[in-house]
Amino acid sequence: MKIVKTIKEVREIVKLWKKENLSVGLVPTMGYLHEGHASLIDASVSGNDKTVVSIFVNPMQFGANEDLDSYPRDLNHDSKLCEEHHVDLIFNPEPNEMYGKDFYTYVNMNVLTEDLCGITRPIHFKGVCTVVAKLFNIVQPDNAYFGQKDAQQLAIIKQMVQDLNMPLEVHGCPIVREIDGLAKSSRNTYLSTEERQSALILSKAITLGQSLVENGERDCSKVLTSMIDLISSEPLAKIDYVKIVDLKTIQPVNTIEKPILCAMAVYIGKTRLIDNFIFEEV
Ligand code: AMP
C-alpha cells in the first residue's frame, strides 16, 4: 500500500492501473477511520481490482464555528486499518494541494441541499460537492462508495454524478453501528462517558420511527411526534431537526407514499450527531 500527498502521484499510479485495464474503486473519507469506513473499503475491494482511500479533512465543507481544527486525525491508525483491509493507495493531500491560492470554481446544487443539514450548515454541501468532484477528477474511479450514515450527502452525490454526467457508479453502503446501536462516527470521540450513554437516544428514536412505519403508519407527523417526544425525554439532547423527506429529492413529505428518508441531527452536549433510516417498500 502506498500513501501519497500529491495529485501528480495519484494520477501516475492510476494511469498505470488503467493501462492494465484494472478497475478502480474510491472511498472518500476525512480519516479517523472506523468500522463504518472499513465497510465501504471492503465493498470497494471486493468490487474492484484496485482501491483508493482519500483522507482529507476538507476545510471547504466546515462552517466558521464548526469543528475543523478539533476534528480528530490519526494517519498512523488509518494507514494500519487500510493496510489490513487491502487498500492499494491512500491519497492524503494537504489543503493547499487541493485548493491553490487562485481557486474559483465550485459545484453548487439546489433543492437536495436546501433542507435537513443544509439549513444549519448552509455552505456544507457546496464544499462536499466541490471536493468530491475534484476527487473524482483526480482518481477517475469506476466506482465510488459512500455511507448511508450521511444519507443526504449520498443522495446529493448521486444527483451530481447524474447531472454532470460523471463516468462512474456511486454505491451506498448501510450504516454500521456500535453493539448498543449508536451509529459509528469519528465525532463519537468527542462524547464524555455520560454523553455517550445519552447519545443512544438517537438510535432508540430511529428504531421507534422505523417500527411505526414498518407497522403501517403513513402519517409523517405521527411518526415524527413520537420520535421527538422520545428524544426530548433525554436531558442532554437538543434537537436540530427530525424530518421525513423524499429519498431522492430530499424535499419534505407529509404522507409516506414513496421511498422516504427519516433523518435527524441532535446535539448531545456540544456534539452534533446524525442518524437516519430509509423506507422503500411503500
Ligand atoms: P467521513 O470520514 O465521516 O466523512 O465519512 C466518510 C464516508 O464514510 C462517508 O461516505 C460516510 O457516510 C461513511 N461513514 C461514516 N460513518 C459510517 C457508518 N457508521 N456506517 C457506514 N458508513 C459510514
Ordered by where they begin, the domains of the chain are 2-173 (3.40.50.620), 186-277 (3.30.1300.10)
Is the C-beta atom of 127 inside 6 A of ligand 1? Answer: no
> What's the grid cell of residue 186?
469519528
Is the C-beta atom of 175 inside 6 A of ligand 1? Answer: yes
Q: List active site positions.
A: 37
For 98-110, how does the pLDDT look when each residue is reduced to its tens digit (9 = 90+)? Answer: 999 999 999 999 9
Whole-structure pTM value = 0.98
pLDDT for position 281: 83
Question: Cα(216) to centroid of ligand 1, in Å?
Answer: 30
Instruction: Return the ligand 1 atom nearest residue 175 CA.
Output: 20
Instruction: Return the ligand 1 atom nearest residue 33 CA.
Output: 2
Alpha carbon nearest to ligand 1 atom 6, residue: 29
State the average pLDDT over residues 11-33.
98
Q: Is the pLDDT of residue 181 over 90?
A: yes
